[in-house]
A and B are shown apart, each in its own frame.
Chain A
Amino acid sequence: MTRQNPYKFNIDQLSKKALDIRRDIIAMLVEAKSGHTGGPLGFADVATALFFNELVYDPKNPKWPDRDMWFYSFGHVTPIHYSALAEAGFFPLKDLMKFRKFDGHLQGHPSNLDSPGIEVSSGSLGQGLSIAFGVAYGSRMDGHPRRAYALMSDGEQQEGSIWEAVMSAGHYKLDNLCAVIDYNDIQIDGRIEDIMGIAPLADKYRAFRWHVIEIDGHDFKQILAAFEEARATKGKPTVILARTIMGRPISFMNDNYEWHGKPPTKDQGEKALVELGTSLQEWSTHLLNN
């Protein structure tokens, strides 16, 4: 099997898929009555580009030895992780309707022993980059073309363990390692710069010997170009700082930190899904039947 993304969607196809994924996120959260809404919606475009254009995997054979490996270090964004996995074919869409339920397999935070497409369980912040570092280091040791992706939040950059990993990846010049930061400037308690400032983040990574790419995380052209630039960058790991808007594009969630850790009510979900061109009834039925 060739090492390539199974979909290789163009920008039009990616936009359509990202819309479906956002609909999935809302419908599954309404059903779950618990979970995170804002972050998953904001990261939906980057995640769609990852799964439908960039990452190398086989959804029918999640343990395919030649696959890339990706790590959602910010485990709490499971709605985007799970909906992308389901849309990509790792498991049926109807499973999303049992998110966070006792009789479903989709844990509140990702669990590798419960769901396919998850390499390592996560949920405690600041751990994914080190795992990706280990994968990148070991792959280089084996002369394997695999790439390792660490997907992180901006708030998570406050964890000290992140900087241990940043330092070691720079030291070992791991150019098969790509980090992506969902830079929406929001964490649970408020604005990042009010809670615990991380700026200037690009300069910090550069000082730790990384290649830094700053993009608009909602512009597919920029997202795809960044992944291409990361692959072409030699002798350094790459971090993509994807500026995103939490809750986008739902009018009453956009850039509002109150939407970090709560699900929409049924009414709010209905409003959101109407904004996304469908209805709660229509999209829930679609999920349950697929």
Chain B
Amino acid sequence: MPEMKKTREGFGRALVELGRSNPDIVALVGDLSDSTMVSFFAKEFPERFIQMGVAEQNMMNTAAGLSLLGKIPFLSTYGAFATCRCLDQIRVTVCYSDLNVKIGGAHGGISVGPDGATHQAMEEISMLRALPRMKVIVPCDFEETRKATHAAAEVWGPVYIRFGRENVPVVTTPETPFEFGKGLQLREGGDVALIACGVMVYEALEAADSLANKGIEARVINLHTVKPIDREIILRAAEDCGAIVTAEEHQINGGLGGAVAEVVVRGNPVPMELVAVDDRFGQSGAPDELMAAFGLKSRDIVAAVDRVIKRKLARVF
């Protein structure tokens, strides 16, 4: 069993670190201090913490107002509410005006578990990706969420960082490189490229192990920044491997898979398969049970690899 840690804790810890080094950092929360782990920041910097209550639209534009004063506001609530509930504020006020607002989306994906569909953010990558100027980061573990949060503070403009509820496998260490906007190759391979984000990075690594047993060498790429997307690493993978499987804890419509496909079809069309939630809402259940039921386990990636390699060999694109 790998070491397990919560990505949301990476967000909470990073906010405190940022608060210590930069007096412009402020944190806003929509009545979910503990769930988002913004409570760490609130405890250490009460004067820079703003409780916004259950009013996400107001929270988004309050952050916008704070950013006009040179502050770097991080607002946080469940990802489903931090985006869908106030998408118009994000579009018109934050993105169209190019304001320096950072959005922390907790409880991303089906692995939220028993809370069910309303609380399982699975559409926000797609929606936010459609907005000019928005940047989207989906880190894979505790350490990477910490780094992504620091990166968000450094990059100008609107940034969305997605993190999850549950303990998830530790994939990276404090020494693992993290560069905003650049994917990271975790495993070399030339038969197929697995491009994943969030908790699916671990599943992709697991899949690569079992594929190796079958004699298939899979390259694994952690594409933590979904927007701006790293075209270079994708096109190199297309060139070297000739087949790509994407994996994400998100609807199949317009998420990471769509983003990669947009690069591939224009740059080097190779067969692709998308491991994602197949256009349906989530439900209650245990996280692992749901990941399996919604086709988001390493075995689903392996099955997708089988399909994509058949297409590659048959040259059916």
Cβ of B67: which chain A residues have Cβ within 8 Å of it? 134
When chains A and B are docked, how far (Å) is the Cα of A127 from the Cα of B61? Answer: 7
- Given A113-B98, A124-B88: A164 touches B65 (CB 8 Å cut-off): no
Known A131-B64, A131-B65, A132-B65; contact A168-B92, beta-carbon cutoff 8 A: no
Main secondary structure on chain A at its contact with chain B?
helix
Contact of A164 among B58, B71, B91, B96 (CB under 8 A): B58
Also in contact, A121 and B71, with CB within 8 A (given A134-B64, A134-B65, A161-B58)? no
Candidates A141, A148, A165; contact of B47 at CB < 8 Å: A141
A161 to B89 Cα, complex, angstroms: 10
Q: What bracket does the count of chain B residues touching chain A fall in?
A: 20 to 34
Tell me which residues from 95 to 122 in chain B have a Cβ below 8 Å from any Cβ of chain A: 96-99
Residue A157 CB within 8 A of the other chain: no
Closest to B62 in A: A134
Interface check B50, CB cutoff 8 A: yes
Instruction: Give residues 110-149 of A contacting B (CB, 8 Å).
Output: 111-113, 119-124, 126-127, 130-139, 141-142, 148
- Write the A137-181 contact mask toward B (1 if CB under 8 angstroms, else 0): 111011000001000000000001100110110010000000000
**A104 to B207 CA separation, bound complex (whole angstroms):** 55
Q: A112-B97, A121-B92 are in contact. Are A167 and B55 (CB under 8 A)?
A: yes
A135 CA to B98 CA in the complex, in Å?
Answer: 16
Please tell me if the beta carbons of B63 and A134 are within 8 angstroms of each other in the complex: yes
A interface, size bucket: 20 to 34
Chain B's closest residue to A133 (CB) is B62
Known: A120-B64, A138-B69. 9 other contacts (CB 8 A): A69-B68, A121-B92, A127-B57, A130-B64, A133-B65, A137-B66, A138-B65, A160-B57, A164-B57
A interface residues (Cβ-Cβ under 8 A, vs B): 69, 111-113, 119-124, 126-127, 130-139, 141-142, 148, 160-161, 164-165, 167-168, 171
A-B residue pairs in contact (CB < 8 Å), sample of 28: A121-B92, A123-B92, A124-B91, A126-B57, A127-B92, A130-B60, A130-B62, A130-B64, A130-B65, A130-B89, A131-B62, A131-B65, A131-B93, A132-B65, A133-B58, A135-B65, A135-B68, A135-B69, A138-B71, A141-B26, A160-B57, A164-B55, A164-B58, A165-B58, A167-B53, A168-B52, A168-B53, A171-B53
